[in-house]
Amino acid sequence: MSIGDPARVVTPVVRLAPAKLNLTLAVVGRRPDGYHALHTVMVPLDLADRLTFALDPSPGASDRLHVEGFDAGPASDNLILKAVEATRRAVRGGLSAPPPALAIRLDKRIPVAAGLAGGSSDAAAAIDGALEAWSTPDELSAAERSAVAASVGSDVPFFLAGGPALVEGRGERVTRLHGLRLAPGERPPGLLLVTPAIAAHTAAVFEAWAGGAMGPPGIAARSSEHFASEFGSGLSAGQLLERAGVLAAANDLLPAAAAVVEGLVPFRRALMRLLGRPIGLSGSGPTLWALYPSVDDADVAAAAVRAAVGTGFVRPPGDGPPFVAATTFLTDVLPTSEEATDR
C-alpha cells in the first residue's frame, strides 16, 4: 500500500495496548535531569485498552481521538495524540508527502493514573498503529521508535519490547527477560488487581519520595536485581508464586504512594487479612495486586473483594468502589528444562 492508502479509511488498523505490572520497583538514585533512576521488572498484562486507527483524508483534517470506557481526561493531554505527532515528525523527512490525519478510537479498559501505565501503553500502540495506518511500518528503525517512545513518556519504551523486561534509567533502558517457563498443560498464574477510585499522579508520588517518604534504602534494589536475574532465565509459575512475598515488598514507592493516597496502607492491610496473601503495589499506585495459581482463583478473590467492599467490611480509599479485575500475564511460554534437554 502507498502512504494514505484509501483502504485504511474503511479498514482501520487495530492494536491492543496491554497494562503493565511492576513485579519489583527500586528507586536507585536521582538523575541530573530531575528524573529518578529505576531498576524495575515489568510484565505486560492481559488487561488491555483497544485502539483503532483510520485515515481521515478530508482536506485540512487534523488527528482526532474518540474515547469510550474510562474517562481518560482531555484529548489535548492524551499521550496518543502526542505519540502520533512525535511519530509524524520522525517520519516526515523520509517521505514525499506528509502522513495524513488519523481518526483514532480508544476503548479505555485500563484505569487511569493507576500505576498500570495504560496511557503509556496507548502511546506505544499509537506509534506502531500510526506507522501501520500510514503504510510506513519500516520507516523507523527499532532505535528510532524507542527514541520517539522515550520522548513521549518514561514508561512508553517498555511497551515496545513485547514482553517482560528489566527497565532501567528513567525508563529508556529496556532489557527483555524470558519470564515464565510453563510445564505442558500448566496454566499461567492469575493476578488480582484492585485499583482504588482515586488517582495517584506519578509526579506527585516521586515528589513525595524525594521529600523523604521512603523506606530503608537498598532492600528493593537487592530484591529487584536478584529477581531480574531469575526471571531473565525463566521461572515456573509455582516459583513465581513462591516469590510473591518478596515481590510484594519490593516497591520503593509504597511509602510515597501512601503519603499521596490517604487510606492506602490500611486498605492494603485489610486486603492482606481478607485474602491471606501478600499484596503488592504496581508502579506509583494506587493499584494493589495479589498473585494466584490461576485466573479462576483470582476471579474468586475478585468476587470476595467486591463483596467485602459492598458490605462495608473493607473500606477502600477514594469516592467510589475500586476497580477489581482478575487477569494474567502476557509472557513467553518457554519449554521446561526437561523439555529443553529432550531436544
Q: Which of 100, 153 has the CB closer to ligand C5P? A: 153
Strands 101-108 and 165-169, sheet pairing:
unpaired
**206, 267, 292, 323: residue in contact with ligand C5P (rule CB under 6 A):** 206
Write down the least CB distance from residue 17 to ligand C5P, Å: 15
Q: Which of 26, 103 has the CB closer to ligand C5P? A: 26
The grid coordinates of residue 274 equal: 481478607
Calpha distance 213→317 (Å, rounded): 19
**What residues contact 234, with CB distance under 8 A and at least 6 apart?**
178, 179, 180, 181, 334
Q: Which of 202, 287 has the CB closer to ligand C5P? A: 202
> Contact between 35 and ligand C5P (CB under 6 A)?
yes
The question of whether 122 is a catalytic residue gets the answer: no
Task: From the candidates 20, 49, 122, 128, give the one annotated as an active-site residue.
Answer: 20
Write down the least CB distance from residue 284 to ligand C5P, Å: 8
Q: Is the previous residue joined to 164 through a cis bond, with omega within 30 degrees of 0?
A: no
Determine the distance from the C-alpha atom of residue 238 to the mean position of all C-alpha atoms in its chain, rounded to a whole number.
Answer: 23
The question of whether 108 is a catalytic residue gets the answer: no
> Contact between 154 and ligand C5P (CB under 6 A)?
yes
* Torsion sign (Cα): 55, 58, 59, 63: negative
Alpha helices in the chain (DSSP H): 7-10, 79-92, 118-133, 142-152, 202-210, 219-233, 237-242, 244-248, 254-260, 264-275, 295-310, 337-342
Residue reference for cell 500500500: 1
> Contact between 38 and ligand C5P (CB under 6 A)?
yes
Candidate segments 123-131, 147-155, 219-227, 316-324, binder of ligand C5P by CB under 6 A: 147-155
Write down the least CB distance from residue 229 to ligand C5P, Å: 22
**36, 39, 88, 108: residue in contact with ligand C5P (rule CB under 6 A):** 36
Q: How far is CA 61 from CA 1, 80, 89, in A?
A: 21, 17, 17
Q: What is the DSSP string of 209-259?
A: HHTT---STTHHHHHHHHHHHHHHH-B-HHHHHHTHHHHHT-BTTHHHHHH
Total residues at the site for ligand C5P (CB under 6 A)?
A: 11
Calpha distance 108→155 (Å, rounded): 18
Write down the least CB distance from residue 64 to ligand C5P, Å: 23
Give me the numbers of helices (H) and strands (E) for the chain, helices first please.
12, 12
Write down the least CB distance from residue 67 to ligand C5P, Å: 19
Q: Which of 38, 258 has the CB closer to ligand C5P? A: 38
Candidate segments 56-64, 148-156, 216-224, 270-278, binder of ligand C5P by CB under 6 A: 148-156
DSSP state letter for 157: G
> Contact between 171 and ligand C5P (CB under 6 A)?
yes
Task: From the candidates 49, 63, 122, 155, give the one annotated as an active-site residue.
Answer: 155
> Contact between 78 and ligand C5P (CB under 6 A)?
no
> Contact between 164 and ligand C5P (CB under 6 A)?
no
Residues noted as catalytic: 20, 155
Instruction: Name the residues that contact ligand C5P, by CB under 6 A.
Output: 35-36, 38, 153-155, 170-171, 202-203, 206
